[in-house]
Amino acid sequence: MKVGVQLGLTSVDEITDYCRDVDVDEIVLSASAVPGFDIGSDSIKAFIDSIAKNDIQVSGMIPPNPSKEAILGSSQDEFAYLCKILRSIGEAGIKTVLFYPFDRFKNYLAEYHHEKPPLEIMPDDERWGLIIKFFRLISDIAEESDLKIASHVFAVDIMRQILEEVKSPNLGVTYCTGMYIFGSDPYAGIDIYGMDRIFLCHARNLIRHGPGRQGHEEVPLDCGDIDMARHVRNLIKSEYNGLIIPEHWGKGGNVVDSVAYLKKLID
């Protein structure tokens, strides 16, 4: 297991300087960072190769977040564009995408509300089949492109239901301790999803003052309700060998300290 960071920087020099400042050599890069946002595989390959010359590996990419219309099949152009991006990422040799499938399609919008269901369409809705169809289609592309889709979904029961119905080995999750916001056990990701479905990990710490996102305060990784050492230990014991990425380190925290802290825990 190694510590990495997520970046949206568009300059090789800026990416290199940032990685040297925070002491990482693996990153997950936004697809929109590719110059001109030309998402052809040749353009992506050329950009990641130029980054690699500075001993920095692009271990994953972040495609655009789909709209509700794209997920439900009523925006075919957007869906086709997403498929093209996924294919290009895979053809460029990237093995993993960090995917946020529902960040533009949820009831709680800017906050995670404890009294509302996480999605406008839940498994008992007659339109649920459209969501499953969407994930089956992108999973087919992932299998063709040798690409792992690491879906970031805080509503763990929803994501587990999708995994059970789709069953593709190329569809998995980003295991984020932020699942604590929804009331889930932040240490239970391995048991919930299975190690073979965890393609990326996030490290995030919080203090709970009340329900929902509005009741949680983001804090540095070394303080808060979540025992980050326990989280890291669980991953190591389960032989996780991907990236763990710090994020949302709260007031007084920063990326340099967060990376150093995670490296110390891993050591």
3-state secondary structure of 28: strand
Q: What is the pLDDT of residues 65-104, one digit of tens each?
A: 999 999 999 999 999 999 999 999 999 999 999 999 998 8
Average pLDDT on 222-232 reads 97
Beta strand pairing status for 216-219 and 205-208? antiparallel
Query: What is the spatial distance between Cα 142 and Cα 170, in angstroms, rounded to a whole number?
Result: 6
> Which residue segments constitute the domains of the chain, with CATH numbers given?
2-172+247-266 (3.20.20.150)
The confidence band for 46, taking pLDDT boundaries of 50, 70 and 90, is very high
- The full DSSP string for 35-67 is GGG--SHHHHHHHHHHHHTTT-EEEEEEPPPPP
* H or E element that contains 3: strand 2-3
Q: What is the pLDDT of residues 161-214, one digit of tens each?
A: 999 999 999 999 999 999 998 889 999 999 999 999 999 999 999 999 887 777
207 and 250 in contact (C-beta within 8 Å)? no
With vertex at residue 112, the alpha carbon angle to CA 110 and CA 117, rounded to the nearest 5 degrees, is 115
In this prediction, residue 38 carries a pLDDT of 64
Residues in the chain: 267
- pTM (2 decimals)? 0.94
Q: What is the pLDDT of residues 208-218, one digit of tens each?
A: 988 777 788 99
Q: What is the pLDDT of residues 6-17, one digit of tens each?
A: 999 999 999 999
Query: What is the spatial distance between Cα 54 and Cα 68, in angstroms, rounded to a whole number?
Result: 39
* 160, pLDDT greater than 80: yes
